[in-house]
Amino acid sequence: MILKIVGLSLLLAIMAFLLRSFGFKGAGVFAAIAVIAVFSAVSGELATLSSLVGASTLFSGEASRYAGTIIKLVGSGYLFGICSDVCRELGEVGIANGVTVAGRVELFALTAPYLGKILELGEELLG
């Protein structure tokens, strides 16, 4: 799998370089598609990582739920970050910023139950 990803990345990079060299105007779009293609190749590995963490002996019982949420948070952070970078690469700064804001909202939605729990516990302890 590692060799496949490295080979694909190098191939796409060479193709993008050649397209730029021949003055192809859609080289940016090609680069964006290339990033998505490489990321799709590792998405299977990410799912394996997530299930590995979930099944890890480090997180037993209730703790695996927290681990799952953290993996989702970090994964979402990476996904939105890559998406935002791709948009920025294509010169679409406005869309890139929009993606970042959407990422923040998504991250907040994932964390909201825990933030609510923190406030609830704090209120319970202080009350």
Partner 1 sequence: MKWAVTVFVIFAVFCFPIVASADAPEDFISDFSSLIPEGTLDGVGDGEALAEAVGFERILSEIYGILAENGGRLAAFFSLLIGLALLCALAGTLDGGLAHTVRSAVLAVSAVAIFESISDLVGVAVEALSETSSFFGGLIPIMTAVTASGGGVSAASVSAAGMSLTLGIVGGLTDGILGSLVSAMFALGLISELGGGSCAGLFKSAKGIYTFAVGLLTFLLGATLSLQTVIATATDGMMIRGAKYTVSGLVPIVGGTVSGALSTLASGLAYAKSFIGVGGVAIIVTIALAPTVLMLAYRVALSLAVDFLGYLDTGGGVKCFSSMLGALDCLIATYALSTVVYIFEIILFIKSGVGIL
Closest contact distance (angstroms) between CB of 61 and partner 1 is 8
In the complex, the smallest distance separating the C-beta of residue 16 from partner 1, rounded to whole angstroms, is 22
Calpha distance 85→89 (Å, rounded): 6
- Asked whether the beta carbons of 67 and 56 are under 8 A apart, the reply is yes
C-alpha neighbours within 13 Å on the C-beta side of residue 7: 4
- Compare residues 1 and 126 and give the one whose CB is closer to partner 1: 126
Q: Which residues bind partner 1 (CB under 8 A)?
A: 53, 56-63, 66-67, 69-71, 73-74, 76-78, 80-81, 84-85, 100, 103-104, 107-108, 110-111, 114-115, 117-119, 121-123, 125-126
Tokens of 62: 């209730």
